[in-house]
Amino acid sequence: MFDHVKFGVSDFAASKAFFLKALEPLGVVVAGEGEPSYGVELCPPGPWQPSLCLFQTTEKPAHLHIAFKAENRRQVDEFYRAALEAGGKDNGAPGLRPRYNANYYAAFVIGPDGHNIEVVCQRAEG
């Protein structure tokens, strides 16, 4: 559905470093970058991938909930560890969330601007 999502961050360098480290288990790379006011585009490698774009802003960013799709539960676990190592704050350790559906396996971390970053795999294990 989305081609890209772009939002402002209060510390461009810190946010870029956080998202690159936290989303590394999903294969995310820098697809393009300009001045901090233009920002950086992050996405999986390959043509025509949905992307996340960050740019420096002087406004206080509104808190967002952003969920990224994982191919397997291992990627969810790796995201959680990487995001915490990158300075994220725990907002829900990896695990099943059966209130959403029986195979909803997710982890949640609060990022540099207070955004709730989620990685979810909705496939059955194995």
Fold of 2-119: 2,3-Dihydroxybiphenyl 1,2-Dioxygenase; domain 1 (3.10.180)
pLDDT for 100: 94
Residue extents of the structural domains in the chain: 2-119
Residues 42-58 pLDDT 10s: 999 888 889 999 999 99
Q: How many residues does the chain have?
A: 126
Q: What is the pLDDT of residues 64-85, one digit of tens each?
A: 999 999 999 999 999 999 999 9
Q: Which structure tokens are listed for 116?
A: 């709730």
The mean per-residue pLDDT over the stretch 24-44 comes to 93
Residue 81 gets the label, from left (phi > 0), alpha (psi -120 to 50) or beta, of alpha
- pTM above the 0.85 mark? yes
